Amino acid sequence: MKTLLAIGTASLLAVAAPAVASSDILWLSDVAPKRAKAAAGHSHDNMDSVLSGDEGDTLHSGTKHLWLRQGDDLASAVYLDDAALPADIVLLDATGQRARVSQKPMAGLAHAKFEFQEMGFYNAYLARERVDGDTLRVQLAKAELLKGSCCQKDVDPAKTRAISDPALPLELVREHKPDEKLFTRMVSGDTVSFVVNRLGQPAAGVPVTMYTQKGWQKKTVSDENGRVAFTLIRDYFPAWNDFRRRTKESFLVVAETEAAESGARQGRKYARVAYQATLSGKYAPTPYDYKSYAWGLGIAVFVLAFGGLGVYLYRRRRVKPFREVRFDEKA
């Protein structure tokens, strides 16, 4: 991390963003692996001990988990081995306090566990560097963590603001909504905004791409205020009887730029630095989706009930009552 910060304090001369293989995108995820799928290709027999499911923790819980993943296919991105975690994860809170969190490998995979006493937002950062030809590639993976509550009132505004690190050469910062407080719920249809920072200042002209778990992606460029915005598309279309209103899917935002800097790292010289910053998040189906399902079900029940009643009454009216007729054969 010291070498990373040394690079970050140098003068950045932005040029065209480098071409980075999609399989090389590094990011932090709070979704626990369901089965072993390591980048090295070998399996882990004790994977049953790993947390499983769509979500590894809850909003109110003070315990958070992060895994290191690679690739832009969010549904199948590999979970990296513990050897791939290059250093401790740096944790930054709303007051600017920093702490280092050591990895705790789980089933042989890169993993870190966080325990929070105070409510509020926290940023977790991980940096990886390598020299590739004449380019130093710096990957900056970030995750926004929250111990919060949807019910707490009189929240200190400092605990709800978006946190950023002014020492980083490239960072994605999610803009918090004014009424967000200590509760974050993004749903399909929402427009989510991010600011691209270089050394704490908004950076214009930086290419940014959003990826979703269903494979949708969109590219844009940060404006003069370093801002980009994406609308979370609706991509959850299960059968009505399989609809789960609590389901959550991941998204990943990636910013890439390049700086004309030269130097050496581990005895290898480089002539430029390529930066990649990532930030992951979650979103749920819009409430209108499951409300429309409920309305559709209610209308179907109404039609069946009253349609059946109408058929019954119609048939009842067509039934002729029994009437006995006697004939007097002697008359």
- Per-residue pLDDT tens over the stretch 229-238: 999 988 765 6
Name the residue among 58, 122, 54, 60 with its Cα closest to residue 90: 122
Q: How many residues does the chain have?
A: 331
C-alpha to C-alpha distance for 239 and 244, rounded to whole angstroms: 10
What's the pLDDT at 322?
Answer: 63
pLDDT band for 239, please (50, 70, 90 cuts).
low
What's the pLDDT at 181?
Answer: 83
Average pLDDT over residues 1-15: 38
* Number of neighbours of residue 257 by Cβ within 10 angstroms: 25
pLDDT band for 329, please (50, 70, 90 cuts).
low
What's the pLDDT at 57?
Answer: 47
Alpha-carbon distance values, 71 to 24, 123, 144, 268 (Å)? 6, 21, 19, 26
Q: Judge if pTM exceeds 0.95.
A: no
Which residues sit opposite 268 in a β-bridge? 265
pLDDT tens digits, 144-185: 999 988 777 777 888 888 999 999 999 999 999 888 888 888
* 9-18, 140-149, 204-213, 243-252: segment of lowest average pLDDT: 9-18
Q: Integer distance in angstroms from the first to the last C-alpha of the chain?
A: 120
- Whether 228 and 220 have beta carbons less than 8 Å apart is answered as yes
pLDDT tens digits, 291-303: 555 555 566 666 6
Please tell me the number of Cα atoms within 13 Å of 133 on its side-chain side: 5
The DSSP symbol for 83 reads G
- Whether 70 and 33 have beta carbons less than 8 Å apart is answered as no
